[in-house]
Structure 1
Amino acid sequence: MTSVLSWALPLALLLLMLAMACTLVRLLKGPSAQDRVLALDCMYLNAMLSVLSWALPLALLLLMLAMACTLVRLLKGPSAQDRVLALDCMYLNAMLAMLVLGLLYGSSDYFEAALLIAAFGFVGSTAMAKFLLRGEVIE
């Protein structure tokens, strides 16, 4: 794995710098102002896509790791309050994972799923807190 990264990462950076250099030449020597603006937009888009190509999968991986840690607390929690807090954190991480997946795949369906997770998570954590406080959910 490290041997692949030792040549793949510098190659990716070199290709990115080459694309930005070509865009920079077009920016400076473009025949019209419209071509210069288009070159600037292209340079910005290349830089942004290169960051998003590794940042979104990394964020998804870290959210899944956080969910695994929260699952341990949910199963091992010494008290009911710890378990409720772990469940609250779990639905928050699931909602954020859905948002990251929506950005990664470019689909608005994931955003709707994240909204549903947030709504059900809020209702569930409120009901659990009320149950722990009073011993009943519905008065």
Structure 2
Amino acid sequence: MTTTKDNLKIAIGSDHGGFAYKQELLQHLQAAHVKDFGTYSADAADYPDFAHPVAAAVESGEFDFGILICGSANGVAITANKHQGIRAAICWQPELAGLARQHNNANVVCIPERFVSLKTAKAIVDHFLAAKFEGGRHANRVNKISC
């Protein structure tokens, strides 16, 4: 799948459970403008400390998309989705990442490092960044998400 990641501004973060894949994804995304919001080691860390800054950076419009990684992706997704302008989707297959963008206009992808291979994680990111929101009937639904 071809991506246009060269022109995108991407915020990325993880806790210790996603640190290894985050390091690999930083290399994978080297053509894009990527800001690493931490963690910066495999030492135990609290996922909200990284999910909130990534979500805030995307919500403010400073970054186009966010990538969050933790062991299950649940913690980072729950945290990111507390931000009103964020639609964070847990994806364990590339096709889900594409649909999250196409149908839900997701702006943060959450990857469960313990449950996907590194190859799959890279494909998830590529599909997510390449997909476009389809609008139409999906826009009506997305507009009903915020409280």
Give the TM-score, by structure 1 length.
0.27
Q: Larger Rg: 1 or 2?
A: 1
The structure with the greater share of residues assigned to strand is: 2
The structure with the greater share of residues assigned to helix is: 1
Structure with the bigger RCO (C-alpha within 8 Å, sep 6+) is: 2
